[in-house]
Amino acid sequence: MMQIDTERVLATLRRLARFGARGEGVCRPALSEDDMAARRWLADQMREAGLDARIDAVGNVYGRTPGARRALLVGSHSDSVPTGGWLDGALGVVFGIEAARVWRSQWPDAPIGIDVVSFSDEEGRYLSCLGSRAFCGELDAGQWDALAYEGRTLRQAAADAGLPSPQDLARLDPQRHLAYLEAHIEQGPRLDRAGLDIGVVTGIAGMHRYIATFSGRADHAGTTPMDMRHDAGMAAFEFAVECEARFRQVGAADSVWNFGAVAFKPGVANVVPKVAELTVELRDLSEDVMARMGAALAALAAERDGVRQVGVRLARQGALSPASMDARLCQALDQAAAARQGSRMAMPSGAIHDAMLLARHVPTGMMFVPSIDGRSHTPVENTADRHLALGAQVFFDGLREVARMFQATLPPGVAAT
């Protein structure tokens, strides 16, 4: 089996973590100076690995294998949340660069090359998965002026960052890109708790978001007897408690939900809450399961409308369809892990990734390494060195397995790797 240089992987990750370093964590929001400096450095790393690298109009760093007519596209994103950790998407970008480097040095004439990408703004300073959306042709021309952060449009921010004109976008090429593979930290506790090395992602959960609004009356909390109140706050509390019980009944084993935000008006100690707004988010790999949970939510809202003399209204705020990973790619990653004695599990991704966008267009696979204590998007985010090393090797081995698989389908006369 071909060995990659896992020490180099760790060193590259640590050098990348210096861009925007904040203690143990990093601050590299999209198009910030530190983000752009990191991207220029990554482009240089890709060039050193033998790729033709450039930075496109939204900040995507894209490194192509010269000479190859077909390629596996690999990578992730190198931007971070403002108080982020050092790994997150950076891990997948560095795993990709290492894979491309070894690939180029070992098989310089391989018919299937490795193209590496670091997508821009996965974290959504301007738009969640901005870079991969643009790469997939899903960024509308109008969004350059419509998307903004702190009063600066995407168009202006990109120009200020020295990026080329909006026409100059790197694009997915279905003739060239046989598949997309992404490595990422899990960002959750499952692998860590189970003591496993590798997560083979079966799909990325979809997400439905709702706002439940409870409308009561703002009465004096001293003078209004309990039975005369229209208490929107208590109505919201009871709703959430009952809603959770129903989600447990109708959801699947991996379904998750969250009541992450609640706001009272007027929200003061001595006034009965007039309005309560409750944010409800639910996720699952299956649209059917999400539809079942949504129906339970709507039914509960209808049942509770008028209870406690409080009106209930439910509004859908947003939805993302789940994405399935390609079964052959899952199998290749699983076999690669097995061959390296890596313990592993198949698991859904509850978080959104660039792979969610790519999966709509090309066969896509994803691999997780454990997050210590499940932490991410915080400076304490970390993964054991041995998991970083094993992950990089398994990812490389998986790519080789996938390339072999596709090679069998290529026209005759193409040289084997």
Residues that bind a second copy (CB under 8 A): 186-190, 193, 205, 207, 209, 219-226, 228, 231, 233-234, 236-238, 240-241, 244, 248, 254-262, 264, 267-273, 279, 281, 283, 349-352, 374, 376-377
* Residue 387 assigned as binding residue: no
* Residue 88 assigned as binding residue: yes
Least Cβ distance, residue 201 to a second copy (angstroms): 11
DSSP, collapsed to helix, strand or coil, labels residue 283 as: strand
Least Cβ distance, residue 285 to a second copy (angstroms): 11
Q: Which of 398, 403, 385, 376 is nearest to 199 (CA)?
A: 398
C-alpha 43: how far from chain center: 22
Nearer to a second copy, 159 or 252 (CB): 252
Residue 54: how many CB atoms within 10 A of its CB?
A: 16
- Residue appearing with tokens 């350059």: 144
Least Cβ distance, residue 232 to a second copy (angstroms): 11
b/e string for 310-329 if b means 16 or more Cβ within 10 A?
bbbebeeeeebebbebbeeb
* Residue 123 assigned as binding residue: yes
Least Cβ distance, residue 283 to a second copy (angstroms): 5
Nearer to a second copy, 61 or 232 (CB): 232
Nearer to a second copy, 155 or 190 (CB): 190
Least Cβ distance, residue 20 to a second copy (angstroms): 21
Using the 8-state DSSP alphabet, how is residue 415 labeled?
Answer: P
d(CA 181, CA 363): 9
DSSP β-ladder status, 206-215 and 311-320: antiparallel
b/e string for 203-241 if b means 16 or more Cβ within 10 A?
bbbbbbbbebbbbbbbbeeeebeeeebbbbbbbbbbbbe
d(CA 334, CA 199): 9
Nearer to a second copy, 22 or 377 (CB): 377
Least Cβ distance, residue 341 to a second copy (angstroms): 26
Instruction: State the DSSP string of 312-328.
Output: EEEEEEEEE--EEPPHH
- Cβ contacts of residue 403 below 8 Å, gap of 6+? 72, 110, 112, 417
Angle between helix 385-407 and 6-16 (nearest 10): 110
* Residue 8 assigned as binding residue: no
Nearer to a second copy, 280 or 390 (CB): 280
Diameter of the chain measured on Cα atoms: 88
Least Cβ distance, residue 112 to a second copy (angstroms): 32
* Residue 270 assigned as binding residue: yes
Residue 296: how many CB atoms within 10 A of its CB?
A: 18
Contact 330, 200 (CB under 8 A): yes
Nearer to a second copy, 20 or 273 (CB): 273
Least Cβ distance, residue 39 to a second copy (angstroms): 25
* Residue 209 assigned as binding residue: yes
Least Cβ distance, residue 369 to a second copy (angstroms): 13
Rg of the chain on CA atoms, in Å: 24
* Residue 184 assigned as binding residue: yes
- Cβ contacts of residue 39 below 8 Å, gap of 6+? 55, 59, 61, 78, 118, 120
* Residue 382 assigned as binding residue: no
Contact 100, 399 (CB under 8 A): no
Nearer to a second copy, 10 or 234 (CB): 234
Contact 196, 344 (CB under 8 A): yes
Nearer to a second copy, 197 or 381 (CB): 381
Nearer to a second copy, 162 or 267 (CB): 267
Peptide bond into 348 cis (omega under 30): no
Q: Which residues are annotated as a binding site for allantoate?
A: 209, 270, 283
Binding residues, as ranges, are: 77, 88, 123, 184, 209, 270, 283, 377
Residues flagged as binding site for Zn(2+): 77, 88, 123, 184, 377
